[in-house]
Each structure stands twice: as structure tokens, then as C-alpha cells.
Amino acid sequence: MASNSLTALVAGAVIPFGGDRFTTVPAGLAEAFRPGDQLHVVQTTGALLHVPAAVRDAVAQQVDAAVAAFERLRTAGPGPVRDFYVAFADALADDGVWARVAEANAADVARAEGLGRSTTRLRVSDRMREDMVEGLRGWAAHLDGSAGPQVVSRVEHDDWAVETVTAPLGVIAFVFEGRPNVFADAAGVLATGNTAVLRIGGDALATAAAIQEHALQPALRSSGLPDGAVCLVPVRERSAGWALFSDPRLALAVVRGSGSAVTELSSVARQSGIPVSSHGTGGAWLVADRTADAGRLAGVVRNSLDRKVCNTLNVAVVVRERAAELVPVVLAAADEAAATRGGLARVHVVKGSESWMPDDDLAREIEVRRAEGTVTEPRATLLDADELGTEWEWEETPELSLVVVDDLDEAVLLFNAHSPQFVASLVAEDASAYAHFRDAVNAPFVGDGFTRWADGQYALHQPELGLSNWQHGRLLGRAGILTGADLTTRRIFAHHESADQHR
């Protein structure tokens, strides 16, 4: 261990962050810290992130394997990778294999419910299984016509030529919430010659381990690819994500999820010099223009609240001219979505918009089913306008914000100021209104119907590795949907006809 390594912490010690602020070391952290441990400081919040040496070592072993696998993949060609996708898909389609995955998932769900955690993303289903198989077979088909690196451009000179050619990035790290299907999504990195290390949320670890043992690893071996091509970090501790995202051997860090966990992970990666693909907050916005068709609006709201994921409807905006007619449409459609789960929707009304709500909605109470159990809450509560960026993390009771605005321009201003700059949709019969909305709203995903279309497999027929909003700035050279096909860099090759060429 180097002489200047951090070997201990002192309770109350000052830790600077953000250039002009400081935090202090809590007594519990000081007591727990041991030689070989790591400490990361989130520069935006001052959060102190402790990585025990044992967790750091477990993560490093998986990155070691991925680095070694990448060296082998560089000369493997597309054939073995295609065979891997076929074998992985066949394994997941096998009822015997899937029974083992489902058994592990049932145990994960029971454990999560016992801890009062959300299980909406955790549960496997026949639909999830079908999507995983379809996505893997799609990658196999993609490689059928691929001969490896692709020529992006060629410049001819008098007696020499220069080609720009795609090349893999290297080891891609993923940290994602407890959605087991991301295992198949992340395998897409192999299509462009990369390898992957995955850290799944602790609630889904048994499910992921079952997929790895009974489907992924057999597929790697039967196709002749190294086990390290796709690795799973085998520990539950949250600190495993911080250890992974601070490994300097990574080419890219991809984080899926939302909230403070994404902020912390992204901060660790950036401070370690690793590029990050992430979005910090989800939640789609829907605007009902003065020309909106009421029937279309109802269908859009209902179908945008079928389940809680990042592209679920989070904020509904209604233009004042039609508010008396359309606010009840929004509320009724949200209740229809809630009725499929046996309840009513939970609504947060921006102050100043409450006059369009039914008289008793702010006074009556409803049952709200949350991860920790069923609770009694108001049907509607008031919300400050500057809280419109809040993403409602609901379990079985759809939850959304509602605001009435003067016109479409005010709706756009609110979106650009308060939203996570992610998914925006406009319901309008006026084509010019939609054209204006599309130009003015600062979002990578813009539509004129339900919000849940923003998904790699659903929209592009390619399993997504992650979605990125514009909350932290636009991305260079790629769309907000990150897929395995995007994970390339560029190499430039020169061919010289003459030995006498000079400058």
C-alpha cells in the first residue's frame, strides 16, 4: 500500500467538496473505515461513499475477467457472438431453464416485499421473457449481415487513402435497478465487440444469478466466448456500484434508474475520468392543447399510466381555454388506469389550478398502495410550481401532477424549466401546434400520443442499454436511446502506394 494511501478516518474531520463547501466525517463512518477501503465524495451533495476493501476486490475480479475477455473478442469476429445470442435466446425460451429463473425470482420478490421495497420492476413475467428472447434473436439477425468493423468514410488522395472504421470501446459497466431483463439488454454490447460488467440491485441478485448460471454462461461456453464477456458482480452491497464506477479500466459507465443513487454513481464515474450515460430523473410530461380531442386525450393518459417506469406519465398540463372540459377527462382516465389495480389515482395539483378540480377531491381520502403497504392519503394535494420536477415513484396506485396553463407557450416554458427534459407529448388536432411544440420543447423524446413509446426495443427493435435525458446536457453523436450498436469508437487507417510520400 502506498505511503500516501488513506488508511483511517477521524470523526469530525473536514472534507471539502464542490470547491466552496465542506462536510464532516460521521463517527460511524470513521469507526467502520479500514486500510484498503475507499472513500468517494459526491461533489454536488457532499455525500461520503464508503467502499470496503472486500467489495472493491470482488468488483475488481469481474473487471479483470472482462478486460481479459475483451482482448479475446478483438479477433473473434461476429460468428461466435451471433452463436452466443442464439444460444442465450434458446436457453431463456427453454421452459426448464425459465422455471429455475422464475423460482429464484419468486424468492427475490418475497425478500423485497418483506423489506417493504418496490417489486414492480422486479417481477419476471411471460412478456418480459418474450422480450428478452426477441431482443437476443434480433442481435443475432443484426450480426448475420455484419463482417465486423464498418467503414464510416474513405478519403482518396493522389497516391494514398484514409479510411475511418468503427472499433469497440472496451469494458462497459452497468449499474441498474432490479429489472432482470436488463441482463439481455446489456448483452447487446457484444454485438460491437465490447464486454460488460453488471451490478444489479440487491433485490434482484438471485434472479440475475439464475439467468447467469442457467442461460448466460452456458451460451458463452457453447459459442466459444470467454466467461468474462458478460460478468455479474456477485454482491448485494450498494458500494459495489461505487467500486465498479471508479475502476479506471472502464470505457463507459451506464447507470439506469433515477434519484440520488444515479447522481452518486454518475459523480463517482466522472471524478474517476470515466464517461457516463445516465438520466437522473424520469417522468414524462403530457400537454393537452386547446385543440385536443377529448377521446384521444383519455386514451393517451390511460395508456401512459399502465405501470411505473421512467417514461410513465408524471405531469399533465391542460390549457386554460379547455380546462373545464379536459381536466375531468384527465382525472377520469387516470382513474381508469388505477381501476385495473382496484383503486383511484393520486393527484398533485399545482397551486392556482385547484379550481378546476372536483370540490371534494382536496378533502376526501383514498387508499394508496405503496411498497411498504396500503396507506390512507388525500385524493389530491396542492403542489408548488417549482416542485413540478418531482418524479412520483408509485407502486400500484398511479400518481401524477396536474397544472393548468394559459397557453401552449407557457406549457413549454414550464417543461423546459422544471422537467427532467426527458419525454414530452402533445395532444392537439392542430398540426402547426405540434410543429411549434416539437421545435420549442427541450426534450430528446417528443411525441403526439402515449408517453410509454420511449423504449429501445419497442421503438427501434433494439434492446436498450439505457435512456438519456437532457437534464445534464445533450449527448454528442447519438440519440437518447443507447443500444449496443452505439458503443463504438473510430480508428483511422492509412494505405500508402508510394514509399516516397512525404509532407
Is residue 15 within 8 A of residue 41, CB to CB? The reply is yes
Name the more confident of 211 and 469. 211
pLDDT given for residue 338 in this prediction: 96
* pLDDT over 70 percentage in the chain: 97
What mean pLDDT do residues 311-326 have?
97
The residue type of 175 is V
In which band, very low, low, confident or very high, does the pLDDT at 474 lie, cut at 50, 70 and 90?
Answer: confident
Name which residue leads in pLDDT, 404 or 200: 404
Q: pLDDT, tens digit, for every residue of 42-73?
A: 998 999 999 999 999 999 999 999 999 999 99
Cα angle 262, 266, 270 (rounded to 5 degrees) comes to: 175
Element (H, E) at 283: none
Q: Per-residue pLDDT tens for 375-395?
A: 999 999 999 999 999 999 998
DSSP 419: S
Identify the weakest region by mean pLDDT among 166-170, 244-248, 280-284: 280-284
Domain architecture of the chain: domains with CATH: 14-51 (no CATH), 54-280+482-489 (3.40.605.10), 284-457 (3.40.309.10)
CA 495 – CA 338 distance, rounded (Å): 64
Asked whether the predicted pLDDT for residue 279 surpasses 90, the reply is: no
pLDDT band, residue 477 (cuts 50/70/90): low
pLDDT at 459: 87
Q: What is the mean pLDDT of residues 456-472?
A: 79
Percent of the chain with pLDDT over 90: 71
pLDDT the model gives residue 186: 85
The enclosing H or E element of 433 equals: helix 431-440
Q: What share of the chain is helix, strand, coil (3-state, %, to 5)?
A: 40, 25, 35
pLDDT at position 146 is 63
Q: Using H for helix, E for strand and C for coil, what is the string for 8-42? A: CCCCCCEEEECCCEEEECCHHHHHHCCCCCEEEEC
